[in-house]
């Protein structure tokens, strides 16, 4: 079960993609429930023998149906906005499994999270801490917090998804952490419960996680000397996935082993992990139709109905997504750019890619779009956001309706 060819036809679980495209139209996000669940189980199994909480990073794909599937498996959530808190609670995620990261939490969002009794705020600046303390005081509450500490390690990934190096807007400086914890320990409406770091995304080796752990462990030891005792060690998310054949991502168990080689000495602590991409990315494909083909200069183009408004990762992060024909072909691959219909040169899915010059009307599938695909979709060029469906065996569940023209102006005032 999953996403694979059966007799040269691409299937998502028990259903042929060509039939789904015919019935529901294109472009369309199609998810395999089985793959989603087995990715979550890999974390459950990998971290199952230690005291741990898996907090799915909602930003990767906050769709209510996907969040509810994960909530039913016992997932917590890593959130970065009041909107994600709303979605998480609605999906049935327990507040005591919700951690709140992000550099710009507003007063309203902090109040909402305090009233919802979330597990902890991952605080990213001293001014944010003061703001949380003030709001907690007004609400007669004690806010549980950890600091997101920037350990200054290089995760060897794209610069736009590197977050744990000096000069990043995320977290507090490692050198400032002890002083900030001591100051926080004196605030009446703050309860220190954890330490946190998130060093980046699409990380394909575990050594950066271990380097971060070594630094944070020194901090934890210094905190204990200052009589500040924490319960939670949040190791962030960021485990990579196999976008390209050459990429060999570590497993959740490898990640656990790497961090526990440092943290196993703390017998009384709970490890929190915040995976997004590695839970949901390879559970989804985006299926589109070839609209036109053309030649410009010495370049060949295939124009499809998937735009950068549906999948922005290639242009935003130079991201590679494998593209396959929905029906296998004996046509020889040529070098083409596969591009969308949007009026931007940056609207492409693949550049200089070896791909068969299929005919107009034929279907392609873009792989691994489950994470940061629909989550980053927009209506740019007044395009309608695409439909999403989840396949469970032979059962289809619609998880997002295709937008209609009236949705374009639904919130506009004339
Ligand atoms: C604080 C935090 N936690 C977790 C994640 C999830 O990362 P990934 O999807 O790479 O696992 C992110 C992603 O940006 C993040 O910012």
pLDDT (tens digit per residue) in 168-221: 899 999 999 999 999 999 999 999 999 999 999 999 999 999 999 999 999 999
pLDDT for position 414: 87
pLDDT in tens, 95-150: 999 999 999 999 999 999 999 999 999 999 999 999 999 999 999 999 999 999 99
Q: pTM of the predicted model, to two decimals? A: 0.97
Of the residues 6, 248, 295, 343, which is catalytic? 343
276: CA distance to ligand 1 center in Å?
6
356-371 average pLDDT score: 98
Mutate to test the pocket of ligand 1, among 237, 241, 319, 368 (most ligand atoms within 8 A of CB): 237
Q: Where are the domains of the chain?
A: 3-31+281-409, 33-280
- Residue 413: which pLDDT band, with cuts at 50, 70 and 90? very high
Residue 284 in this model has a pLDDT that exceeds 90 = yes
- pLDDT at residue 160 above 90? no
Residue 55: active-site member: no
Average pLDDT for residues 77-105, to the nearest whole number?
98
Which option is the CATH number for 3-31+281-409: 3.40.50.300, 1.20.120.450, 2.40.37.10, 3.30.460.80?
2.40.37.10
Q: How confident is the model at residue 260 (pLDDT cuts 50, 70, 90)?
A: very high
What's the pLDDT at 132?
Answer: 98
The per-residue pLDDT for 161 is 64
Ligand 1 atom with minimal separation from the 279 CA: 11
In SS3 terms, the chain reads as CCEEEECCEEEECCEEHHHHHHHHCCCEEEEEHHHHHHHHHHHHHHHCCCCEEEEEEHHHCCCHHHHHHHHHCCCEEEECCHHHHHHHHHHCCCHHHEEECCCCCCHHHHHHHHHCCCCEEEECCHHHHHHHHHHHHHCCCCEEEEEEEECCCCCCCCHHHECCCCCCCCCEEHHHHHHHHHHHHCCCCEEEEEEECCCECCECCCHHHHHHHHHHHHHHHHHHHCCCCCCEEECCCCECCCCCCCCCCCCHHHHHHHHHHHHCCCCCCEEEECCCHHHHHHHEEEEEEEEEEEEECCEEEEEECCCCCCCCHHHHHCCCCCEEECECCCCCEEEEEEECCCCCCCCEEEEEEEEECCCCCCEEEECCCCCCCHHHCCCHHHCCCCEEEEEECCEEEEEECCCCHHHHHCCCCC
- Residue 330: the pLDDT is 95
Q: Is the pLDDT of residue 164 over 70?
A: no
Q: For ligand 1, pick from 78, 156, 278, 370 the residue to mutate: most ligand atoms within 8 Å of CB.
A: 78
Residue 373 pLDDT more than 80?
Answer: yes
CATH T-level topology, domain 33-280: TIM Barrel (3.20.20)
């Amino acid at each position: 079960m999953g996403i694979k060819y059966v007799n040269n036809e691409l299937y998502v679980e028990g259903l042929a993609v060509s039939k789904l495209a015919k019935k529901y139209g294109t472009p369309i996000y199609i998810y395999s429930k089985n793959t989603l669940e087995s990715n979550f189980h890999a974390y459950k199994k990998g971290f199952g023998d230690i005291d741990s909480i898996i907090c799915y990073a909602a930003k990767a794909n906050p769709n209510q149906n996907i969040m509810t599937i994960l909530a039913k498996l016992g997932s917590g959530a890593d959130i970065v906005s009041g909107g994600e808190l709303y979605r998480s609670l609605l999906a049935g995620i327990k507040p005591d499994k919700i951690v709140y990261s992000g550099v710009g939490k507003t007063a309203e969002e902090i109040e909402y999270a305090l009233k919802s009794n979330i597990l902890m705020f991952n605080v990213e600046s001293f001014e944010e801490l003061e703001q949380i303390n003030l709001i907690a005081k007004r609400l007669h509450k004690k806010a549980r917090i950890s600091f997101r500490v920037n350990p200054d390690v290089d995760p060897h990934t794209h610069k736009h998804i590197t977050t744990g190096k000096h000069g990043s807007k995320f977290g507090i400086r490692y050198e400032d952490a002890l002083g900030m914890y001591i100051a926080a320990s004196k605030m009446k409406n703050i309860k220190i419960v954890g330490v946190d770091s998130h060093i980046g995304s699409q990380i394909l080796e575990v050594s950066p996680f271990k380097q971060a752990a070594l630094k944070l462990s020194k901090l934890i030891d210094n905190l204990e000397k200052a009589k500040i005792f924490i319960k939670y060690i949040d190791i962030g998310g960021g485990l990579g996935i196999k976008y390209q054949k050459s990429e060999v991502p570590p497993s959740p168990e490898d990640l656990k082993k790497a961090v526990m080689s440092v943290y196993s000495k703390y017998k009384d602590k709970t490890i929190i992990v915040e995976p997004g991409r590695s839970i949901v990315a390879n559970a989804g494909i985006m299926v589109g139709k070839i609209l036109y083909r053309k030649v410009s200069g010495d370049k060949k183009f295939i124009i499809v109905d998937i735009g950068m408004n549906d999948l922005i990762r290639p242009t935003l992060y130079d991201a590679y997504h494998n593209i396959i024909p929905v029906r296998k072909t004996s046509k020889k691959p040529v070098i083409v750019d596969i591009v969308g219909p949007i009026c931007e040169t940056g609207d492409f899915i693949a550049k200089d890619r070896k791909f068969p010059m299929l005919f107009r009307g034929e279907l392609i599938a873009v792989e691994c779009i489950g994470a940061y695909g629909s989550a980053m979709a927009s209506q740019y060029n007044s395009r309608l956001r695409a439909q999403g469906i989840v396949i469970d065996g032979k059962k289809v569940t619609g998880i997002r309706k295709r937008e209609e023209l009236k949705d374009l102006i639904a919130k506009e005032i004339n």
